[in-house]
């Protein structure tokens, strides 16, 4: 069994925060693939289902971001899983909004949710880093991640990103991280402008209505034409 965990903070107050994009991602997967109802277990909200050939448990820890590892450690002990069975979706300041990168292992880079997970399970789990951009000043980070996404974010990139993650999730469950990233990138790429279908300007085509200029003989004949 695979565990897909989205990181965030519980409660309506935090639902639209940038810090909660991990919750949003697993919600999108549950919706796209018809997972069972969310239930309260393991200090978390969990939903069971399948992605391709894999049985997957979706998890939204309810311990608040800084203690995410408590819930995931309890799940790992109950199902006798290791960190290699865990994939974590989380916000990433160092990626532009809408960008997605997948990696296994590494440090927590100051992310308190990842710090907690590593304290309980070690570092050898898969991280799906979801770009939210950086406020440009380290002192503004806390307020930035705990602020809601703007309406323009939903329109311009967030909703398409979440839909793409939902559709591509089976590739991730099967261990195809590169295929997952490629599918998400393709599904969120801006549409190319349509190419014109008519004749290009200056291609030599003349309007059908244009009349040929009058000859000198025609102009002379016109002088003697009677009304």
Tell me whether residue 195 is in a domain: no
The pLDDT assigned to 214 comes to 58
**The domain containing residue 184 runs over which residues?**
2-188
For residue 170, the domain's CATH number is 3.40.50.1470
Higher pLDDT, 106 or 75: 75
3 state SS of 98: coil
Tell me whether residue 200 is in a domain: no
Q: For residue range 77-130, list pLDDT tens digits in order.
A: 999 999 999 999 999 999 999 999 999 988 887 789 999 999 999 999 999 999
Tell me whether residue 224 is in a domain: no
Domain count, the chain: 1
Question: In the chain, pLDDT over 90 holds for what percent of residues?
Answer: 78
CA distances from 194 to 111, 191, 197 (A): 42, 9, 9
Tell me whether residue 203 is in a domain: no
Higher pLDDT, 224 or 9: 9
Tell me whether residue 27 is in a domain: yes
The pLDDT assigned to 108 comes to 83
Tell me whether residue 33 is in a domain: yes
Which one of 19, 33, 90, 111 is the catalytic residue?
19
C-alpha radius of gyration, the chain, whole number: 29
The pLDDT assigned to 149 comes to 97
The pLDDT assigned to 41 comes to 97
Main-chain phi, psi angles of 130, to 5 degrees: -105, 110
pLDDT band, very low/low/confident/very high, at 201 (cuts 50, 70, 90): low
- State yes or no: is 19 an active-site residue: yes
The pLDDT assigned to 213 comes to 57
The pLDDT assigned to 88 comes to 97
Q: For residue range 132-177, list pLDDT tens digits in order.
A: 999 999 999 999 999 999 999 999 999 999 999 999 999 999 999 9
Tell me whether residue 149 is in a domain: yes
- Token digits of residue 15: 């639902």
Tell me whether residue 219 is in a domain: no
The pLDDT assigned to 203 comes to 55
- 94/107 Cα distance (integer angstroms): 14
């Amino acid at each position: 069994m695979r565990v897909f965990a989205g990181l965030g903070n519980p409660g309506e107050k935090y639902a639209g925060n940038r810090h909660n994009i991990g919750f949003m991602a697993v919600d999108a997967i549950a919706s796209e693939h018809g997972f069972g109802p969310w239930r309260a277990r393991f200090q978390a909200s969990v939903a069971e289902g399948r992605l391709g050939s894999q049985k997957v448990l979706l998890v939204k820890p309810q311990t608040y971001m800084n203690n995410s590892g408590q819930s995931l450690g309890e799940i790992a002990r109950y199902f006798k899983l290791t960190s290699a069975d865990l994939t974590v979706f989380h916000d990433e300041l160092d990626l532009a909004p809408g960008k997605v990168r997948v990696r296994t292992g590494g440090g927590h880079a100051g992310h308190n949710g990842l710090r907690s997970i590593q304290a309980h399970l070690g570092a050898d789990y898969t991280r799906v880093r979801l770009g939210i951009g950086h406020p440009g000043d380290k002192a503004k980070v806390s307020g930035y991640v705990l602020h809601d996404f703007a309406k323009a974010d939903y329109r311009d990139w967030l909703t398409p990103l979440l839909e793409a993650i939902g559709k591509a999730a089976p590739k991730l469950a099967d261990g195809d991280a590169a295929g997952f990233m490629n599918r998400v990138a393709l599904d969120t790429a801006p549409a190319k402008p349509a190419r014109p279908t008519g004749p290009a300007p200056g291609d030599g085509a003349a309007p059908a209505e244009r009349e040929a200029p009058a000859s000198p003989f025609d102009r002379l004949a016109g002088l003697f034409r009677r009304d």
